[in-house]
Amino acid sequence: MWQDKRDQSTDRGHFAIGRILQQGHFTTRILKIAVCAFAILSISANNSAWATSSKDELDNQAAQQLQQPNPTGSQRVSRVILGSESPVQPQIEFQRRAVIPQVNSKNSSKKLSIIANSQATEIVAKTDVTTIVPAPVPIPVTLNRYEKLLTNKAQRYIDKNWNETTGLIDSVQGYTHATMWDIASGIGALLALEALNVSDPHVTDIRLAKLLTTLYNLPLYDGKLPNRQYNTVTGKPSGRYSDTPSNGNGWSALDLGRLYIWLAIIAQKKPHLAADVDNIKLKWQLNAAVHRKTLYGTKLTSKKEYFRQEGRLGYLQYAATGYQMMNLDVANAFNCDRLKEINIEGMSVKTDVRNLPFLTLDPFLLYTIEVGSEASCWNQLSTLFELHNFKYKTNQKLTAYAEDSLSKSPWFLYNNIYYQGQAWHSVSHSGKPIADSQTFSNKAAFAMSVIFQNEYSEKLATQVITNSARHSEIPTGLYHNGKTNTAYNINTNSLILVSLWYKTRGRIAIWQD
């Protein structure tokens, strides 16, 4: 078996250009944004300065923030400094979900014995095909002023990085490339802005129509499915082999699955755009990424084209749900016969026994907010939330382990809850350990805070608001040393917008109408 990872070319438009832009290009736009009153009670040592602010001062600052106009249009990042195709640019290396050879099983077995009390037990094989069940009518919930501030910050990211020519949004601020995963995040952000009453429905329709037209006109890899990455200004393939007859170096089955979920949501929320979605479905060979009733991606190298199974626990099932929405049979993607249970902090956690089993919060959070929270043999979000809560009670340090862009090398990380025999293990796209890693993901923390309601989830929300206070867009998170990860990106800002949308719906998943 083979696992999917980010390709080392420029598959997903994340990460390195942020290094140039974070040097102060946008500092003139930074706003003085305050934190909510209840933040004073839960500020960490790294934010002690905020804890000394009075409630009245914070409220006054927040009110001023909400009254300030939202910048649009002309604030896009200059393309002159971005030329990602220019030979003078430093090489950008990261991976999205490409396939790589299976690691040596003997070495893997040895690594699995590193953690004490991590004795694995086989889970009985079963198939648990996701059934999408309609939900009750949502009961509207009103956002507080601090949540509205987050909405405004995320909107600024969208306005700055939206491309009028294609309707696509840059994956990382100023980096003019995006994968299908990033494009799905852009769709979610646009719909959320309308649902949160900060974007006019007519504007949303124009932007979505342009995006759908671009998707329909994309040069497809081998004439079948979208390439792993495209230029957000031109709509042309980018990355390796982008200028060849193949139109790129392959497709990511996982990225497409996430996109399919949001295309289905467009058709549901915007019936007048459903025909555009149908046209895309008819043009793309959707079944090319399905083999043996599970997901398969392609990877073109200098030697040959590889066609391999993609996806591990969480990511596979989440993406496969999108294929279900496209009426494709991917029943085997929901099998649980490749899972084992291990012990972390005294809790039983499921892991994937195949190679490169990245285990983060992301797919479980996305599935719950976008699709639903039905019980299954693979979904373990509640367990992972409790595990984070226990970790906080143990060391009084808030954490949220997710995949994220980085503002420094290696430009992207998988912050794994468990990976290759170690708990709480951060690795790069290539699986190399990262010493000074990010340990708090703003998007993952905020998503947890709207799904769960307890003291710990409130602390997570407060920390995200605190982390964002001095930024005009929502930053990615906090590094282990407490410094801010300023790799502003679409996935962070989108998930926080969609999480707020989910909250206003009375915590009913976006798909469930």
pTM, to two decimals: 0.79
Taking the C-alpha atoms of residue 496 and residue 156, their distance in angstroms, rounded to an integer, is 13
Q: Are 493 and 189 in contact (CB under 8 A)?
A: yes
Residue 87 per-residue DSSP state? T
Nearest to 488 by CA among 470, 503, 471, 512: 471
pLDDT in tens, the chain (513 residues): 344 444 433 344 343 334 333 333 433 333 333 333 333 334 333 433 333 333 454 455 455 555 554 444 333 332 222 223 333 333 322 234 432 223 333 333 323 222 223 333 333 344 455 454 444 566 788 999 999 999 999 999 999 999 999 999 999 998 999 999 999 999 999 999 999 999 999 999 999 999 999 999 999 999 999 999 999 999 999 999 999 999 999 999 999 999 999 999 999 999 999 999 999 999 999 999 999 999 999 999 999 999 999 999 999 999 999 999 999 999 999 999 999 999 999 999 999 999 989 999 999 999 999 999 888 999 999 999 999 999 999 999 999 999 999 999 999 999 999 999 999 999 998 889 998 899 999 999 999 999 999 999 999 999 999 999 999 999 999 999 999 999 999 999 999 999 999 999 999 999 998
Taking the C-alpha atoms of residue 273 and residue 276, their distance in angstroms, rounded to an integer, is 5
Taking the C-alpha atoms of residue 226 and residue 233, their distance in angstroms, rounded to an integer, is 16
Q: Are 36 and 433 in contact (CB under 8 A)?
A: no
**Sign of the dihedral through C-alpha 494, 205, 503, 58:** positive
Nearest to 447 by CA among 408, 399, 498, 508: 498
For residue 219, cis peptide bond before it (omega within 30 degrees of 0):
no
At 102 the pLDDT is 30
Q: Are 407 and 485 in contact (CB under 8 A)?
A: yes
The residue behind tokens 């003139």 is 28
Taking the C-alpha atoms of residue 112 and residue 235, their distance in angstroms, rounded to an integer, is 44
Please, what is the angle between helix 381-395 and helix 362-370, to 10°? Answer: 130
At 139 the pLDDT is 77
The residue behind tokens 């000074």 is 436
Q: Terminal CA-to-CA distance of the chain, rounded, Å?
A: 38
Nearest to 153 by CA among 397, 473, 387: 473
Q: How would DSSP label each residue in 190-216?
A: HHHHHHTTSS-HHHHHHHHHHHHHHHH
Taking the C-alpha atoms of residue 509 and residue 498, their distance in angstroms, rounded to an integer, is 10
At 64 the pLDDT is 58
CA distances from 197 to 105, 190, 490, 497 (A): 52, 11, 20, 12
**Sign of the dihedral through C-alpha 248, 250, 254, 258:** positive
Q: Are 77 and 162 in contact (CB under 8 A)?
A: no
Q: Are 220 and 289 in contact (CB under 8 A)?
A: no
Taking the C-alpha atoms of residue 110 and residue 113, their distance in angstroms, rounded to an integer, is 6
Give the angle subtended at the CA of 190 by the CAs of 185 and 196, to the nearest 5°: 115
Please, what is the angle between helix 180-195 and helix 253-269, to 10°? Answer: 20
Nearest to 206 by CA among 190, 219, 195, 186: 190
